Amino acid sequence: MELVELLRDARAVVGFTGAGVSTESGIPDFRSPGGVWTRYDPRNFEFDRYVTDPEVRALSWEMRTEFFAEPWAPNRAHLAFARLEDAGRCLGVVTQNIDGLHQDAGSRTVVELHGTARRVMCIGHRPEYGTPAGCGWDAPHTWAFERLDAGEADPHCPRCEGLVKSSTVSFGQQLFPGVVDAASDLVRRADVLVVVGSSLQVYPAAALPMDAIDAGARLVIVNDEPTPFDGVADLVVRGRAGEVLGPVVDALLG
Ligand code: NAD
């Protein structure tokens, strides 16, 4: 297969993944019908509304509780990057996802552009301009679920009484400091950037393929529908992430 040949001599693969890498694990992307994400009004994920409206915060915790009620597990696409990293042929993964499945698969270097649902953090009392301004306290997401189970609808920071939010990036929220630079640094060190399951429509994430190309990397896109970057890719594989990458890594590593 063409992708096996392209990756055979690669020693510094970097993955760049979107929601489509996790759909084979059962987590819907934004457009899949019926998923947790599509049953909640996107306006309720706006940072400013979270800050100003306790009902929005309660709804948000309800959504998170529902999300974590499922025992999500990594699929062959997540495992592919972890196996390549173990074999010394992958530098790591940049992901737009918040589900933590790359780490569950065993990837050690993971840049999470949009944060993680696996932790919660203090965002301060009245953060402005989409910028969390907390005291620095954070905790595993289970901390919040314990507070909710204890009857608190809107848990507050145990250190400074500020608002507590999932450590994810909501609509209208600034990305966490340093994360875009970390992502750009990683993709610029790639000899092959493998983009998987991203519509490549959300900036600044969608700028990363050009960063990699500018630095001399080859670009591979694995997606089940066209993306705006197909024309500049060295190889486009139209298919499902795990179904494509599982056999490719089997062929490379045996
Ligand atoms: P997107 O929904 O815009 O694009 C996903 C792309 O993957 C689409 O082109 C879709 O056709 C394709 N796809 C779906 N399943 C696939 C599969 N099995 N194999 C190959 N391709 C597949 O997602 P995005 O580009 O990541 O951007 C949306 C935002 O949604 C992200 O910022 C992310 O933070 C967030 N999100 C995250 C999760 C998660 O953490 N698992 C889930 C939903 C949304």
Q: Do 132 and 219 sit in the same domain of this protein?
A: no
Ligand 1 pocket test, candidate residues 22, 29, 103, 203, most atoms within 8 A of CB: 29
- Based on the domain organization, do 153 and 106 belong to the same domain? no
Long-range contacts of 176-179, Cβ-Cβ distance < 8 Å, separation of 24 or more: 176/115, 179/111, 179/112, 179/113
pLDDT at 123 over 80: yes
Q: The CATH number of the domain where 21 resides is what?
A: 3.40.50.1220
Helices (H), the chain: 2-8, 47-52, 54-68, 76-86, 101-105, 141-149, 179-188, 208-214, 241-253
Structural domain range at position 186: 1-27+73-114+177-254
CA 21, 110, 159 angle in degrees (round to 5)?
115
Looking at the fold, whether 78 and 186 belong to one and the same domain comes out as yes
The CB of 18 under 6 Å from ligand 1? The reply is yes
CA of 226 from ligand 1 middle (Å) equals 13
Q: List, for residues 88-119, the tens digit of each pLDDT value.
A: 999 999 999 999 999 999 999 999 999 999 99
Question: Quick one: 200 and 252 in the same domain?
Answer: yes
Q: Identify whether residues 152 and 230 lie together within a single domain.
A: no
Task: Please tell me the predicted confidence (pLDDT) of residue 40.
Answer: 76
CATH code assigned at 140 = 3.30.1600.10
203 lies in the same domain as 236: yes
Q: Is residue 156 located within the same domain as residue 91?
A: no
Report yes or no: 132 and 50 within 8 Å, Cβ to Cβ. no
Helix (H) or strand (E) holding 139: strand 138-140
Whether residue 45 is found in the same domain as residue 156: yes
Same structural domain, 181 and 238: yes
- Are residues 126 and 14 both part of a single domain? no
Q: What is the pLDDT of residues 225-251, one digit of tens each?
A: 999 999 999 999 999 999 999 999 999
Can you tell me the distance from the alpha carbon of 160 to that of 36, in angstroms, rounded to the nearest whole number?
Answer: 32
Model confidence at 5, in pLDDT bands (50, 70, 90)? very high
For 31-49, the pLDDT digits (tens) are 766 666 677 777 778 999 9
At 217 the pLDDT is 98
Contact 80, 245 (CB under 8 A): yes
In the chain, what percentage of residues exceed pLDDT 90?
85
Catalytic residue from among 78, 102, 114, 141: 114
125 as an active site residue: the answer is: no
**Helix or strand or coil: residue 222?**
strand
Strands 115-124 and 163-168: antiparallel
Average of per-residue pLDDT across 25-33 = 81
pLDDT tens across 63-93, in order?
A: 889 889 888 999 999 999 999 999 999 999 9
Give the H or E element holding residue 195: strand 192-196
pLDDT(22) > 70: yes
The tally of domains found in the chain comes to: 2
